[in-house]
Amino acid sequence: MRRPRFRVSWFANIAFAFGAMRAHKLRSFLTLLGVMAGVATVIMMVSFVVGFNNAVTEGFTAFGTYLVQFQKYEPRFNGPNGPPEEQRNRRDLTIEDAQALKRLSTLAAAVSQERYHFQGVVVKAGRLEANGPQFLGTNPDYSVANTHYVQDGRFITDADVSHAARVCIIGTDVADALFPHRDPIDQELTVNGRAYRVIGLFEKKGSAFGGSNNNFVAVPISAFDDQFPEIKNGGGDTIHIATVPRRPEDYDALIEEETAIMRARRGLRPSQENDFAIFTSAGQLDNFRQVTGGVAAAMLVIAGIALLVGGVGVMNIMLVNVTQRTREIGLRKALGATRRDIATQFLIEAVTLSAVGGALGIAFGLGAAVAARYAFDFQAATHLWSVVVGFAVSTAVGLVFGMWPAVRASRQDPIEALRYE
């Protein structure tokens, strides 16, 4: 006659798991910490890295998807001493270089001459003052090259550049600060005490890298050089030359064509490297993604270590449970429970333990992402798939590290188990 099987439902096994956690609160909490830390790291990594990539993509898109910019210095962050000596010793880019590109390039839709003054510029209208705007000197091609157009008034003309006219186009931030209740067109403002007439208002363009794209004043490059000759003569930054192709499909060909023009103007031999930098939105975006990819890899390693520690903790606590519940195991086997029944019970307990840690880790990770949005004005991106992956990983940890304790429990001899004190 076959013995009746003593079977326990999945829900009862889960209840046993929670009962064991309540009975050993501190030990269970310490065990959960590893799993929680690993899953929380995964959630935060995905939120911050994806959010940062989105912000960087938005920032470079603001410059123009097909922008190609030539400049003296490489477009990367430098140390406290500024660019390397090799870059500082390069010849400056000049307005004549920009004019040559305009004349010789067959693929460029626009060639913008740009010179910037980022600090020490005071822009006022009466008693009102703008909040640290950028000051830009440029030519009529700026709008097309940078996809930044005026919404009211007009842009700089060739005549404005020829006569160094004291006219300007302002961003919406400057307009709001200096002319809050009136139309800024034909109003007067001063830049470090020099008067300019507002002839245009740029359309609003959002932000990039945490800074506004609407807080600047643009004037003819000749008027800029007249007011700040020290920058033109090498006391600050050299000219930037921004270009865009006539057609998107000519983007790569434009880079090759204009690079060849610049190399020929600077007398570089085929064996010599460029003595100028080429900035493209796509190139810089790839560089930033490589950096964030490295950060993500490092965080994954940390998350993996935390999950490994958590998994070992789950295995240890389950082995302790097996030892403490030896008589229970013997009793169940005497009542007809099979090895599979015993293994299933302890495996479910291990998965439940790690799943609780995973759920807590998900909650902590999402909470950190939300807190970052409000504390640092950083748009951390939360994705459903990262939550699913985090929970799946925590469950897998329970399955893998709960296997050995479950097998060990199932191999207990019922007679010896009932004799256990």
pLDDT of residue 1: 46
CB 355 within 8 A of CB 391: yes
Residue boundaries of the structural domains of the chain: 10-58+287-419, 91-275
Q: 47: which 2 tokens?
A: 């939120």
Of residues 293 and 357, more confidence is placed in 357
As a whole-number percent, the residues of the chain with pLDDT over 90 amount to 32
For residue 154, the 8-state DSSP code is -
Give the pairing type, strands 240-245 and 188-191.
unpaired
What's at 50, amino acid-wise? Answer: V
Q: What is the DSSP letter of 114?
A: E
pLDDT (mean) for 359-383? 76
pLDDT (tens digit per residue) in 145-157: 888 899 999 999 9
What tokens does 328 get? 């229970």
Contact 46, 380 (CB under 8 A): no
Q: List, for residues 232-282, the tens digit of each pLDDT value.
A: 766 555 789 999 999 989 999 999 999 999 999 999 999 999 989 888 876
Predicted pLDDT at 208: 57
How much is the pLDDT for 34? 74
pLDDT band at 30, cuts 50/70/90?
confident
**Cβ atoms 50, 382 nearer than 8 A:** no
CA–CA separation, 150 vs 165, rounded Å? 18
Tally the residues of the chain: 421
Q: What is the mean pLDDT of the segment spanning 130-150? A: 91
- For the ranges 61-75, 159-173, 236-250, the lowest mean pLDDT is seen at 61-75
Q: What is the DSSP letter of 79?
A: B
Tell me which of 91-100, 325-334, 347-356 is least confident: 325-334
Position 418 confidence tier, pLDDT thresholds 50, 70, 90:
low
Q: Is the model's pLDDT at 312 over the cut of 70?
A: yes
- How far CA 84 is from CA of 79, 93, 94, in Å, comes to 9, 17, 21
Q: Which amino acid is at 280?
A: T
pLDDT tier at 189, thresholds 50, 70, 90 = very high
Spatial CB neighbours of 297, under 8 Å, sequence gap ≥ 6: none
pLDDT of residue 355: 84
Statement: residue 75 has pLDDT above 80: no
Q: With beta carbons less than 8 A apart as the criterion, state whether 152 and 201 touch.
A: yes
The helix/strand/coil state of 406 is helix
β-pair type (240-245, 194-202): unpaired
